[in-house]
Amino acid sequence: MLQYSAWIDKVAKKNRSKIVLALDLTNLGSKQLLSNCLRILKETAPSICAVKINRQVVLPLGLRNGVQGIIKLAHNLDLPIIMDCKINDVGHTNEAIAGHYFSAGFDAVTASPFVGWKDGLEPVFKVARQQGKGVILLVYMSHKGAEEGYGQNVLDPKTGKLCPQYMIFAEKALEWGADGAVVGATYPEKISAVHKTLGTKVPIYSPGVGVQGGDVEAAIQAGATYLIIGRTIFKSANPQKTSSDLKNQINEVVSKHQSNSR
């Protein structure tokens, strides 16, 4: 089996898509929740390169129950599936959490770099590496309050100079060999800054286009590799068409950007 990063890259090329579908359905009974998740995933599969769920789906469906149906369908459709659990505790519980999600079939997890490496995320990276799974780090979140943590100026322990917290996290994404760095599409200038540090070594996953106000073109031009998109697709009247239209829109922006930079 391919390692996570190679797999999403392969599917992105095959489906000509940079969309990671965020399947964040809410306010439904378990049966309806599962059947809607499966239907939307099937309908959008040709237009996405991966799918992501978070605890709002795992809690009502159960990791070893309904969630198994979503994981199996994703894999049958040749799509990697990300558990957006934002791991954020001390090492031994982080390791156990990642282990549960990986053994349940998830291909990657998200994690918060605020907990640091030693006795923080090191065990998560270790278990992921042993199993060919991915770890995606939060570098600058998409919501307004992100500036209170990710946006603080802090003393960089390496240089002794003031530096934005998110730029230190971008360095850590490189140093730790992360499989992705999350930077909100609502802050294209932050995507650009992080992209300058990461280059092509760590892909940028950017949530926040559409409902949160981020713009597809600005995020792609700034250097986003993948766009994480939820409500714009699954709340639309026709998720199949919306995902296909978004995929085409993104591809047009990519072509325009490539020809401008030639």
Site residues (vs ligand BMP, CB under 6 A): 22, 24, 54, 84, 141-142, 182, 184, 207-208, 210-212, 228-232
* Active site (catalytic) residues: 86
Let me know: does 132 contact 1? Beta carbons within 8 Å. yes
**In the complex, residue closest to ligand BMP by CB:** 230
Least distance between ligand BMP and beta carbon 70 (Å): 14
Determine the Cα–Cα distance for residues 212 and 210; give it in Å rounded to an integer: 6
Least distance between ligand BMP and beta carbon 42 (Å): 19
Residue type, 251: N
Give the residue from 248, 218, 204, 212 showing the smallest Cα distance to 232: 212
Q: Which is nearer to ligand BMP, 7 or 226 (by Cβ)?
A: 226
Least distance between ligand BMP and beta carbon 99 (Å): 21
Q: Which is nearer to ligand BMP, 26 or 259 (by Cβ)?
A: 26
CA distances from 69 to 63, 105, 123 (A): 10, 11, 28
Which is it for strands 180-183 and 204-207: parallel, antiparallel or unpaired?
A: parallel
Determine the Cα–Cα distance for residues 73 and 143; give it in Å rounded to an integer: 31
Least distance between ligand BMP and beta carbon 228 (Å): 4
Q: Which is nearer to ligand BMP, 178 or 228 (by Cβ)?
A: 228
Helix (H) or strand (E) holding 72: helix 67-76
Q: Which is nearer to ligand BMP, 138 or 253 (by Cβ)?
A: 138
